[in-house]
Amino acid sequence: MRRRAPAREPRLPLRKEFAPYIRQLVRLMQINDWRVWLAADDPPGDPKAMAAIEMTYGRRSARIWLSEAFLRDSPEEQRHTIVHELAHIFFAASEEIARTEMPDGAYQSWRLMHEYGVDAVADALAPRSEALIKLPRPRSSDQARP
């Protein structure tokens, strides 16, 4: 009797596999005067974060972290998450001023409202990017069957 092989979990993509996609989005969003690094081995410092970005405004340099939950997410959500993180670059100067100059309580309130605004930018940009670049990886239904 031949037994059917147990269904395999699809392989999770590696963080570094998103580096070319991030470079494409950087060009598309016209922020290619920034150097954007992907932390290939580490998740965000905040375990609840899907992803994170840290910017050094004066250096026009940013580092992005992707969580394991991000790696398990749909290609559409992954695109939205990356666009969200990159959209923070547009606000790097104001984020730096708010972070360094606002009292903690006011900064926390500002930060929450700011995240909603950045997310609205990602809501507007992410779906429109599909006409210009593909999703970061094919949907499972698009993959060739053996």
The tokens for 103 are 């009292």
Q: Rank residues 54 and 142 by Cβ distance to Zn ion and give the closer one.
A: 54
Q: List beta partners, residue 64.
A: 38, 53
Nearer to Zn ion among residue 42 and residue 142 (C-beta): 42
Binding mask 53-72 for Zn ion (x = CB under 5 A): --------------------
Q: If you ran DSSP here, which 8-state letter would residue 104 be given?
A: H
Q: Please give the angle made by the CA atoms of 47, 26 and 91, to the nearest 5 degrees.
A: 65
With CB under 5 A as the contact rule, which of the stretches 19-27, 54-62, 118-126, 127-135 interacts with Zn ion?
A: 118-126
Q: Per-residue b/e over 76-89, b at no fewer than 16 CB within 10 Å? A: eebbbbbbbbbbbb
In angstroms, give the least distance from the CB of 138 to Zn ion: 26
Segment near Zn ion (CB under 5 A); pick from 13-21, 31-39, 113-121, 133-141: 113-121
Q: Where on the chain is the footprint of Zn ion (CB under 5 A)?
A: 115, 118
